[in-house]
A and B are shown apart, each in its own frame.
Chain A
Amino acid sequence: MHWSAFIVFLILFAIVTVLGFSASRWHRGDLDLIEEWGLAGRRFGTFVTWFLLGGDLYTAYTFIAVPALVYGAGAFGFFAVPYTIVVFPIMYIVMPRLWRVSKQRNYVTASDFVRGRFDSSLLALAIAITGILATMPYIALQLTGIQAVLTAMGLAGHGFLRDLPLIIAFVILAAYTYTSGLRAPALTAILKDILIYITVIVACIVIPVELGGYGHIFHVAAAKLPATKGSLILSPKLFMAFSTLALGSAFALLLYPHAVTGSLGAKSGKTIQRNAALLPLYSLALTFIAILGYMAIAAGIHTKDTSLVVPLLFLKTLPEWFAGFGFGAIAIGALVPAAIMAIAAANLFTRNIYREYFAAAEGPNREAQVAKIVGLIVILGALVFIVAIPLQYSIYFQTLGGIWILQTVPTIMFGLYTKWFHRWALLLGWLVGMVTGTSMAAAESFKTSIYPLHLGHSVYLGYAGIWAIIVNIIIVVVLSLVFNSLHISNGKDDTQSQDYVSDSSQAVGQ
């Protein structure tokens, strides 16, 4: 048991708990309204949005999983770098449009937009369910971040005792998410990221000094990676897999419900655009976090459970109390996105399933009440998932989740630019894309999202999500041509072209 690490960890955890509960009084608003609870009244400026989106998109799971992948596979794990580079141009162009139309029309979720744009509750339901399904295992995986640091600190009891610290952490999380809504992760994200940046900066200076410099670390990694079938420099046969995974992940990331919720919480489209220029600082941190995988190789860390790579590296090379500091950063790094994800899933359920199918006539207060309770259920559901079901299933579902979310690109992203695509074509394209992507992942036993596509005599190794969205888009285009030429109704568009371009509210006809 590493006591000094554990004590530092506990202190940080206590601070974040206090922050989470006190967040309800920050930028005071009526938390009985879903816009206040679920989007914090759309009033976060550049600074808070930076922390919120950063805390949202770069999760504890990333901090554990990326170095773990690099530790075994080497260069391939660095797909995360081009991924988090190209995501910003997409963010700059697309998300302000979504923010603006959502502000004009009081949309709280991406499915609200789909409902309004295409006048189809069925298409909106498909998008909402995709979002909820993809988010649930993602929340569960955040727990593995906490679990990894707890195990590394020696808190490995048996049975119920083993899970007790996790249960405590998630009950606290559920409680302050219930009371404070989106304000809680926004406020705690500020603390989380200060901790993360300090940890990364210190680790990336101190550890290389101890190990003999970056040059030496890369040399050792290059020599040892072939033993795990990895390589320091990307091999040509993985080029397409690397690029398609990076590209597909970038498009998918922004359409995850938690990314939409984080973006809609901003106070203007410009706030999001400024963040596209400022958020790459997180990508820089992520790159160095990925290199921690190489440092672990150079430091001689041996573990079968690769999620322990970073925690074990910290314990071996850093003063114990500082390792505890880093563990606190990782654990809080799990709580921030978990809270946003739960809120996002709750918003989707409340707006696009509950309100649509169960209680259309009830008022906004009821909506917020439902969202809060659903948020609780989502967090506790994720807890049950991780405690009761083998971890491997969460990872499989998370792999599928990315493929699934990518299938909503035509409806949401294309829909932000044009009404040319037909709603039924989008729905059928989505359906075929979901089935295609899922069966490709199934063919690989869900172990990887990389699928070898056989075309003629050639084999193309690429991201299943990209193969699926190509099929999806072809169907959407062909069927849109057919449906439009047959003059099948594409629904009444609730939005107008000027809704998409201006930050300021206009009194346009409702």
Chain B
Amino acid sequence: MKTKNGWYWLFLIPFIGTLWPPFYSSYRPTLAGFPFMYWYLILWIFLVAILSGIVYFIDNR
């Protein structure tokens, strides 16, 4: 149990990626009409779901 929980540190990544606005407070590059800030944050929604899924599978191996 203990060793598996080390994977939980991966969960720090979305905090850094989404709570540091200097990373994404810009208009360009746009994607399908969406300014960078918007599609970047939408991308993170998918990434956090995938990350939770990965940790879940590691937890229940």
Contact = CB atoms under 8 A, between A and B. Distances in A.
Interface string A237-253: 00100110011000000
A129 interface: no
Interface in A203-221: 213-218
B45 A283 contact: yes
Contact of A93 (B11, B25, B34): B11
B42 to A, nearest CB: 6
B33 A218 contact: yes
A17 B34 CA distance: 40
Nearest to A275: B52
B52 A276 contact: yes
Most buried by A among B8, B44, B48, B51: B48
Interface stretch (A77-85, A175-183, A426-434): A77-85
Contacts of A81: 18, 41-42, 44-45
A75 B11 CA distance: 25
B52 A273 contact: yes
A243 B19 contact: yes
A278 B51 CA distance: 11
A366 interface: no
A86 B42 contact: no
A85 B19 CA distance: 10
Contact of A78 (B20, B26, B41, B46): B41
Number of chain A interface residues as a range: 35 or more
A233 interface: yes
Interface string A290-307: 010000000000000000
Interface string A267-297: 0001001101110110110010001000000
B18 A82 contact: yes
A29 interface: no
Given A75-B37, A215-B33, A92 B45 contact: no
A435 B27 CA distance: 40
A287 B32 contact: no
Contact of A236 (B20, B25, B50): B25
A479 B38 CA distance: 44
Contacts of B33: 213-218
B25 A218 contact: no
Contacts of A273: 52, 56, 59
A231 to B, nearest CB: 10
A319 interface: no
B6 interface: no
Contacts of A274: 56
14 contacts: A75-B25, A86-B14, A86-B48, A89-B15, A93-B11, A218-B35, A233-B27, A243-B20, A247-B19, A276-B56, A277-B49, A283-B45, A287-B42, A501-B1
Interface of B: 1, 8, 11, 14-15, 18-22, 25-27, 30, 32-35, 37-38, 41-42, 44-46, 48-53, 55-56, 59-60
Closest 3 CB pairs of A and B: A215-B33, A89-B11, A214-B33
Given A246-B18, A280-B46, 8 more contacts: A81-B18, A93-B11, A214-B34, A239-B21, A277-B52, A280-B52, A284-B42, A284-B45
